[in-house]
A and B are shown apart, each in its own frame.
Chain A
Amino acid sequence: MATFEQHIHPAPTTFLSKYIFSFDHKVIAKQFLWYGIFFLAVGGMMALMIRWTLAFPGEAFPIIGTMLFPDTHGVIPPDTYAMLFTMHGTIMIFYAITPILIGAFGNFCIPLMIGARDMVFPTLNMLSFWFAVLSAIILMSSLFTPLGAAAGGWTSYPTLSTVIGSPGVGQTLWALAIFVVGISSTLGAINYITTIIVLRAPGMGYFDMPLTVWGLWLTAILNAIFLPVLAAGVLLLIFDRVFGTTFFLAGAAATSGSGDPVLFQHVFWIFGHPEVYILILPAWGIVSDLLSFFARKPAFGMKATALSMTTITILSTLVYGHHMFTTQMSPLLTQSFMTLTMTISIPSAIFFANWLGTIWKGSIRFTSPMLFSLGVVFVFGLGGLTGLYLGTVTTDLYLHDTYFVVGHFHYTMAASVLLGGFGAIYFWMPKMFGVMMNECLAKVHFWLTMIGLNGIFMGMMIVGYAGMHRRIYNPFVYEYLQKLIPINTFITYSAILMGLSQFIFLYNFIHALLKGEKASDNPWEVGTLEWTIPSPAPHYNFKEIPVVKCGPHEFGNPNLKNGRDYQYQTEQLVEG
Chain B
Amino acid sequence: MSSVNAEIHNDIQDELKSSIGMTVILVSLMMFFGTLFFGYAVYRFTTETWPPMGMQKINLMLPSMTTIAVSLGSLFFEISKKYLNKNNKIQGKNFLILSIVMGLSYVFFQYLLWRSMGQLGLYTSTGIFASLIYAFTWIHVAHMSMALILFFWAYIALLPREINKKMLRSFTNIGTFWHFLSGIWFFIFIFLFVL
**Interface, chain A (partner B; CB < 8 A):** 2, 4-5, 120-121, 186, 189-190, 193-194, 197-198, 224-229, 231-233, 235-236, 239, 243-247, 254-260, 263, 266-267, 270
Select from chain A the residue with minimum beta-carbon distance to B139: A235
Find A245's partner among B29, B36, B54, B125 (CB 8 Å cutoff): B125
Is B59's beta carbon under 8 Å from chain A? no
Report the Cα distance A190→B25, complex, angstroms: 7
Contact of B42 among A4, A239, A254, A260 (CB under 8 A): A260
Give a binary string over B51-73; 1 marks a CB under 8 Å from any A CB, 0 the rest: 01011000000000000000000
Given A194-B24, A198-B16, A260-B42, A255:B126 Cβ within 8 A: yes
The minimal Cβ–Cβ distance linking B176 to chain A, given in whole angstroms, is 14
B29 x A198 contact (CB < 8 A): no
Q: Once A and B bind, how many residue pairs between them come within 8 Å at the CB atom? A: 123
B166 at the interface (CB under 8 A from A): no
Whether a CB of chain A sits under 8 angstroms from the CB of B85 is: no
Between-chain CB contacts (< 8 Å), 21 pairs: A2-B12, A4-B12, A189-B24, A190-B24, A190-B28, A194-B21, A194-B24, A198-B13, A227-B28, A235-B139, A236-B135, A239-B124, A244-B123, A254-B128, A255-B125, A255-B127, A257-B128, A259-B131, A263-B43, A267-B35, A267-B39
Measured in the bound complex, the distance between the Cα atoms of B125 and A247 in whole Å is 10
How many angstroms from the CA of A233 to the CA of B134 in the assembled complex? Answer: 15
**Cα-based distance from A197 to B36 in the complex (angstroms):** 30
Interchain CB contact under 8 A, A257 and B47: yes
Cβ of B24 and Cβ of A258 under 8 Å apart? Answer: no
- CB atoms of A246 and B128 under 8 A apart: yes
Q: In the complex, which residues of chain A have a beta carbon less than 8 angstroms from the beta carbon of B47?
A: 257-258
**Which chain A residue has the least Cβ–Cβ distance from B25?**
A190
Q: Are B12 and A247 in contact (CB under 8 A)?
A: no
Complex: how many Å from CA A31 to CA B40? 40
B17 adjacent to chain A (CB < 8 Å) = yes
B129: interface (CB < 8 Å): yes
In the assembled complex, B193 has its CB within 8 A of some CB on chain A: no
Check if B128 sits within 8 Å of A258, measured CB to CB. Answer: yes
From DSSP, what is the main secondary structure of chain B's interface residues? helix
Interface residues of B in 118-149 (CB under 8 A from A): 123-131, 134-135, 138-139
Is there an interface contact between A257 and B39, defined as CB atoms closer than 8 Å?
no
Separation in Å of the A245 CB from the closest CB of chain B? Answer: 4
Question: Are B135 and A246 closer than 8 Å at their CB atoms?
Answer: no
* Neighbouring B residues of A193 by C-beta, 8 Å: 20, 24
Q: Which residues of chain A are within 8 angstroms of B24 by Cβ–Cβ distance? A: 189-190, 193-194, 224
With both beta carbons as reference points, the residue of chain A lying nearest to B35 in the complex is identified as A232
| In the complex, B9 has a CB within 8 A of chain A | yes
B39 to A228, Cβ gap below 8 A? no
A534 to chain B, nearest CB (A): 27
Q: For the complex, what is the distance from the CA of A254 to the CA of B127, rounded to whole Å? A: 7
Report the minimal beta-carbon distance from B8 to chain A, rounded to whole angstroms: 11
Contact, CB under 8 Å: B20 / A194? yes
Report the minimal beta-carbon distance from B45 to chain A, rounded to whole angstroms.
11
**A233 contacts across to B, CB distance below 8 A:** 35
Query: Is A5 a contact partner of B124 (Cβ separation < 8 A)?
Result: no
Q: Known contacts A227-B28, A229-B31, A245-B124: does B135 contact A120 (CB below 8 Å)?
A: no
Q: Which chain B positions have C-beta within 8 A of A228? A: 28-29, 31-32, 35
Contact present for B128 and A259 (CB under 8 Å): yes
Interface residues of B (CB under 8 A from A): 1, 6, 9-10, 12-13, 16-17, 20-21, 24-25, 27-29, 31-36, 38-39, 42-43, 46-47, 52, 54-55, 123-131, 134-135, 138-139
How far, in Å, is A162 (CB) from chain B's closest CB? Answer: 13
CB closest chain-B residue, reference A226: B31
In contact, A243 and B127 (Cβ under 8 angstroms): no
Residues on the B chain within 8 Å of A189, using CB: 24, 28
Residues of A within 8 A of B129 (CB): 257
- Complex alpha-carbon distance, A194 and B13, angstroms: 11
The answer to whether B39 touches A236, judged by C-beta atoms less than 8 angstroms apart, is yes
Q: Contacts A258-B47, A260-B43, A260-B46; is A229 near B126 (CB within 8 Å)?
A: no
A425 to B38, CA, bound (A): 41
One of A198, A260, A263, A266 near B17 (C-beta < 8 A): A198
Cβ–Cβ < 8 Å partners of B42 in chain A = 260, 263, 266
- B residues within 8 A CB of A229? 31-32, 34-35
Contacts of A260 in B (CB 8 A): 42-43, 46
Is the beta-carbon distance between B54 and A256 smaller than 8 angstroms?
yes
Q: What's the least CB distance linking B175 to chain A, in Å?
A: 19
**A120 surroundings in chain B (CB, below 8 A):** 17, 21
Q: Which residue of A has the minimal Cβ distance to B29? A: A228
A225 with B28, Cβ < 8 A, contacts A236-B39, A245-B134, A263-B42 known = yes
Chain A residue with minimal CB distance to B39? A263
In angstroms, Cα B38 to Cα A226, docked, is 14
Are the C-beta atoms of A245 and B131 separated by less than 8 Å?
yes
Which residues from chain A contact B138 at a C-beta distance below 8 Å? 239
Tell me how far the C-beta of B182 lies from the nearest C-beta in chain A, rounded to whole angstroms.
19
